[in-house]
Structure 1
Amino acid sequence: MNNVLLLTDKLITGGAEMYFCKLENHLQDKNMTFYSAAATGELYKHIQHKQHFIPLSLKNHVANLTLLRKQVSQKQIDVIHANSLRMLLYSIAIKKLTRRNIKLVYTKHNVTILEKKMPSLFKNVLNQHVEQIIAISHFEKENLLRLGVNKDLIRTIYNGVDVEHFSFKQIQPKKTFNVGILARLSKEKNHELFLKIVNELKEVPNVMFYIAGDGPEREFVEKLIKDLKLHHKVMLLGNASNPYEFICKMDLLLLTSIREVFPMVVLEAMAAGTPMMSVDVGGIKEAIVDHETGILIPHHSEREFAKQIQSLQGDEDLRQRLGSKAREKVEESFSLSNMIHSTLKTYQ
């Protein structure tokens, strides 16, 4: 019998946090018991096995390590699955403190400060302490290999989508063409580019833009909307209480990020049949094949985005075809069941 502990920083709306919740909800094995730990937040409502949940502090690391050391010993944890670099460092410390033979699994969701500032130290931490690294795209696996991480430690397991959760939509003629972005308001998500795209199309009739999400860049986004005089063209909605509903209401979703590893929103849009238009960064091309399962923009160019948006606006057949092919791609390659099955194997 293996006892597995899932760790993430905090239950805020984000790709890594949703991944954590999916694991917590769906991991099942007759020979394993699963526990989870994180600082609470708006995603706590998605935690299904609350009797096995350990609430952590946002800032008190000593208290967290003390609590986790006690829980790991009491629950005889055999595997810790860390979903952030901080949680991986916690896991390494706990393994030493408890002197238990714990298998450490690490899913790398994003670019960490340590790998940017001290890549050699980051590589050594992984090579010396982690038994299994989950890369969520081949792009990220290649990045790890370039850093010098042992190839035998790395396994690519794509993010998974519960396809049954999304009803595939047929494209319906509508007077207004709705274009959205669903992302945390942070610098790396590049809402500045999104608003520059809106500015390129502000005189084009029957196109409206929507921003779903919140975060530290909200004031900047509000000021840019004001400076560019875009109040008539774009709506800032705040956090989407139901992201799936937002995705399905859009005729087109944009991704304008400066950097990405493999964002969940791309797969969710594809599952819903909502066409996705993204800048070509990170591992996105592993899901979006240009003009087949979505639209790829080679550079961070507002003019190229605007041109392609107008082209899609006037071509219902292309939008329907993109949506259908995208749904097929998700069913074949990015199902939740595949993700869960592959992740369970890493614990054995």
Structure 2
Amino acid sequence: MNVLILTDKLIMGGAEMYFCKLENYLNHPGLTFYYAAGTGDLYKKIKNKQHFIELSRSNHLQNLKRLISLIHDKNISVIHANSLRMVMYSTCVKKMIHRPLKIVYTKHNVTILERKVPNLFRYLLNKHVDRIITVSDFEKENLEEAGIDQNKIKTIYNGVDLEQFLFELKEKRKMFHIGILARLSEEKNHELFIDIADHLRDRPNILFHIAGDGPEKQRIADQIKARNLTDKVKMLGEVQNPETFIKEMDVLLLTSYREVFPMVIIESMAVGTPIISINQGGIKEAVIDGETGFLIKSHSTTDFCKQILRLESDHRQRLQLIERARGKVEKDFSLNQMIHQTLKEYLNCSQ
């Protein structure tokens, strides 16, 4: 059986890294895999370039023609779409080729269609998608409440490569480093991160680091400068090796307005960096408050600072936290588990 895996574009992001993991690690004697996506910096991570075709990021008609040609030439039986746009592509292609074709959809984020036109979203998934993978039970429950057929839905957690994100116990250091690793966009709420740094400006041993790039870069830099925090908060830009940045931090924060299940949470838990996160989406399925990290109920600067100072002052508790967090990742969030369960979804499509 031949499987085609699609995503929009190969820029840095959760769905795109998920696509790269599938491309790098999917292997089964009864399955052959092909891949298609728009160009981007992550293309360098593609290993099987002979099985990859590049899609246009703007010419949708051209993309449909290329996909139809590929599906005919390679006798594709299953399409795995990693965005709602790719679901729409797959649905159009299926109607145009007039032959059996199974569609699997991994839902990575909240889509405009489900917020603006929920009836159309429900119709599209119930009518045209055969299997739906959610990356958290929280998102699975949301789809069921939205009227999506629960028999189609399976939660498969994003997996961490435990050989790449190696666990490391941290020694207590003079300086205490607080980090955030996220796209510089409005929904990631870097303003709260800067507020926290401002609140702790009189603690000279605590420094803050922002890793990532995006449309809010200049506005965030201006905020740091306006608050006279240039010595307290450093912007590092895009990081090529996220595991290195995360390991260098003593605590990682997640301050977003909305999330489904961000990879950075379990990556941080894997390497031994404590996580303090806003309680959004499916984050609580990995971060058990007080056991594998700390959850903050609201976007409260005071509450974030309280937990930062708690971890900064209590090295023993920090060690206990990170050991339990690593155990949680090994048990529930390994890359091997993700790959194995995804393969089962493809094979179920052939039955």
TM-score category (smaller protein): over 0.9
Task: Report the Cα offset of residue 166 of structure 1.
Answer: 2.2
Corresponding residue for residue 193 of structure 1: 192
In the alignment, the residues of structure 2 paired with residue 302 and residue 59 of structure 1 have an alpha-carbon distance, to the nearest angstrom, of 41
- Structure 1 residue 171: deviation in Å? 2.0
Does residue 342 in structure 1 map to residue 344 in structure 2? no
- Alpha-carbon deviations, 1:72-116, whole Å to 9, x = none? 111111000000011110010111111121110000000000001
Q: Partner amino acid for 1:266?
A: I
Secondary structure (helix, strand or coil) at the match of 2:260 reads: coil
Q: Partners in 2 of 1:167 and 1:279 — Cα distance?
A: 25
The answer to whether the aligner puts 1:74 opposite 2:69 as a matched pair is no
Matching residue of 1:50: 49
2:134 is aligned to 135
CA distance in 1, matches of 2:165, 2:254: 20
Instruction: Please tell me whether the aligned partners of residues 171 and 316 of structure 1 are also in contact (alpha carbons under 8 angstroms).
Output: no
Cα deviation, residue 167, structure 1: 2.2
Question: Which residue is equivalent to 2:35?
Answer: 36
- Superposed, which structure 2 residues align to 1:79-94 within 5 Å? 79-94=78-93
More displaced stretch, 105-114 vs 93-102 = 93-102
SS, match of residue 213 in structure 2: coil
Amino acid at match of 1:166: F
**Which amino acid in the other structure matches residue 298 of structure 2?**
H
- In the aligned structure 1, how far is the partner of 2:99 from the partner of 2:79? 11
AA in 2 matched with 1:265:
V
Q: CA offsets per residue over residues 118-161 of structure 1, 9 Å max, x none?
A: 11110110000000000110000011011100000100110011
- Counterpart CA distance in 2 for 1:98 and 1:55 is 21
Residues 157 and 342 in structure 1, CA contact (< 8 A), matched pair in contact too? yes
Residue 255 (str. 1) matches residue 254 (str. 2): yes
Q: Return the offset for 1:279.
A: 0.5
Counterparts of 2:88 and 2:228, CA distance in 1: 46
Task: Show CA shifts across 1:161-181 (max 9, x none).
Answer: 111222211120211100000
Q: Does 1:224 align with 2:223?
A: yes
- Name 1:332's counterpart in structure 2: 331
**SS of residue matched to 2:66:** helix
2 CA distance for matches of 1:87 and 1:302?
39
Q: Indicate whether 1:176 and 2:181 are aligned.
A: no
SS for the counterpart of 1:106 is strand
Give deviations 1:247-298, integer Å, cap 9, x for gaps.
1111110000111111111011111011011000000000000110011111
Q: How does 1:267-306 map to 2 (within 5 A)?
A: 267-306=266-305
- Distance of 1:343 and 1:139 partners within structure 2: 19
- Structure 1 segment 92-241 matched on structure 2, within 5 A: 92-241=91-240
Paired letter, 1:225: I
The residue matched to 2:5 in structure 1 has which SS? Answer: strand
Aligned mates of 1:139, 1:181 — CA distance in 2: 23
| SS, match of residue 134 in structure 1 | strand
Once the two structures are superposed, residues 280-324 of structure 1 have per-residue CA deviations (whole angstroms, 9 ceiling, x without a partner) of: 000000000011001111111111101111111111111111110
Distance 2:306 2:269 in 1: 21
How far apart in 2 are the matches of 1:54 and 1:48? 13
Measure how far apart 1:223 and its partner are: 1.4
Calculate the TM-score normalised by the size of structure 2. 0.98
The 8 Å contact of residues 13 and 43 in structure 1, kept in 2 or not, is answered as yes
- Corresponding letter in the other structure for 2:209: Y
* C-alpha separation in 1, matches of 2:166 and 2:107: 30
Larger mean Cα displacement after TM superposition, 14-23 or 160-169: 160-169
Q: Where in structure 1 do 4 or more consecutive aligned residues deviate above 6 Å?
A: none
- Render the CA deviation track for 1:224-256: whole Å, top value 9, x for unaligned: 111211101000011011111001111110000
CA distance in 2, matches of 1:227, 1:13: 29
Any gaps of 5 or more consecutive residues in structure 2? none
Amino acid at match of 1:220: R
In structure 2, the residue corresponding to 1:158 is in which secondary structure? coil
Alpha-carbon shift at residue 36 of structure 1 (Å)? 0.5
Q: Look up the equivalent residue of 2:180 and give its one-letter code.
A: I
Aligned length: 347
SS for the counterpart of 2:183 is coil
The two structures, once aligned, show a CA RMSD in angstroms of 0.8
